[in-house]
Structure 1
Amino acid sequence: MKTSADPVRDYLAAVEREASTLPADRRQELLADLAEHIEVTRAEHPDAAIGTVLAALGDPRTIAATALSEAGGRAAAGVPAGSGAEAPSARRGKVHPLVPLLMLTLSLPFVMVFPDLPGPLFGVLFRIVGAVLLCTSVHWTGVQKTTGALLTAVLPSVVIATSNLSDGGPAAGTPTLLANLGMLAVMAGTAAWLWRVRRA
């Protein structure tokens, strides 16, 4: 029974097979990006098993489907795939990965600084739009997106709503301030983690 000697090579070969309808230059660019990401991740986390690193990247079929849909979007916009005319952000995704992270993290300080309307309204809108941008981004895996959305959007909303209900309304007391600062620390930490693990 023959076993694979190089799981990275097998993974990249699977992506190449799934993305066979991509133009050759775009397919090679995709493979080079993935190989670089794997190399950087292994250098940053030398103790991580290669299977864990590859699982974090995602299924080869999903990666290929995303690349194919991006190529289709560029073709529909009149930009030839692999032409090099598009900006790097257009190749990777429509929104820079820092945008959703900033929106999610700054939603709470915005409400803390402007506690009266329209402060809370804008804070909630920042949180919702940031979560949507995070979940539709190509820079993170599904697990990373779910974890990020739960820790930066859902958990703070639940804690703030619970605090407001238990206090009979929003109060500027020490317990509320401490809860807000704790949530801000969780949100900032999660955003920093998402930034560190993002795909190039």
Structure 2
Amino acid sequence: MKTSADPVRDYLSTVEREASALPADRRQELLSDLAEHIEVTRAERPDASIAEILGALGDPRTIAATALAEAGAGIGASATSGAGAPIRRGKVHPSVPLLMLTLSLPFIMVFPDFPGPLAGVLFRIVGAVLLCTSVHWTTVQKTTGALLTAVIPSVVIATWNLSSGGPAGDTAALLANSAMLALLVGTASWLWRARRT
């Protein structure tokens, strides 16, 4: 079996081949973004091997499939026919779902009466949907992020409201809310650092 002298070129070629159904400009943008990400990571982590950098970036077939799904083209679908070209959707900046998920709790705390609880729930739902449909994270990162920022806080708040109304006393409530806010901020920080550019 022949091994390549340039694993980065092989990686990008695989992405290009697997994403051939994308419009040419979108495919070129994807390849440029990946090449830039690899170059920046090499500069930031000079001790890391190319294999480690490419492994952290992810499987090239998965990246191509994600780009195809985002563009509205199914894997193997042809995007070359003029009328049958996929509809392109706009990207949501990765900070949007993270801010919505993180700010849902402070919004409820600042506005305990209407519209606080309703807006907090809507922030949490929309933020979780945007997180789960984003191309910036892997499936495991999306699932973990949604569990830690949307599901667990919702279950805890519902349990407090259905039981004795939450922790007894102002200090206990403040500590519980602070711990939950720390969980939201910590998870959002982790997702921000783990995002794919």
TM-score (norm 1): 0.75
- The structure richer in helix per residue is 1
Structure 1 residues 46, 146: closer, same or farther in 2, change over 3 A? farther
Equivalent residue number for residue 122 of structure 1: 119
The structure 2 residue matched to 1:169, chosen from 165, 171, 182, is: 165
The structure 2 residue matched to 1:105, chosen from 102, 107, 124, is: 102
Equivalent residue number for residue 14 of structure 2: 14
> Is the CA contact (8 Å cut-off) linking 1:140 and 1:197 kept in structure 2?
yes
Equivalent residue number for residue 178 of structure 2: 181
> Is the CA contact (8 Å cut-off) linking 1:163 and 1:176 kept in structure 2?
no
Bigger Cα displacement from structure 2, 156-165 vs 112-121: 156-165
In 2, the alpha carbon distance for the partners of 1:56 and 1:161 equals 37
Report Cα offsets for 1:110-168 as digits up to 9, x if no partner: 111122343222211111110001110112222221222122112222333344455x1
Residue 137 of structure 1 aligns with an amino acid whose one-letter code is S
List runs of 5+ in structure 2 lacking aligned partners.
74-78
Residue 132 of structure 1 aligns with an amino acid whose one-letter code is V
Structure 1 residues 124, 70: closer, same or farther in 2, change over 3 A? closer
Structure 1 residues 45, 149: closer, same or farther in 2, change over 3 A? farther
Residue 165 of structure 2 aligns with an amino acid whose one-letter code is G
Equivalent residue number for residue 137 of structure 2: 140
Shift of 1:20: 2.2
List runs of 5+ in structure 1 lacking aligned partners.
none
Residue 122 of structure 1 aligns with an amino acid whose one-letter code is A
In 1, the alpha carbon distance for the partners of 2:165 and 2:110 equals 17
Task: State how 1:9-158 maps to structure 2 within 5 Å.
Answer: 9-46=9-46, 50-71=50-71, 90=90, 93=91, 95-158=92-155
In 1, the alpha carbon distance for the partners of 2:101 and 2:51 equals 31
Shift of 1:35: 1.4
The count of aligned residue pairs is 187
Report Cα offsets for 1:148-198 as digits up to 9, x if no partner: 2122112222333344455x1145621121111111112112212222332
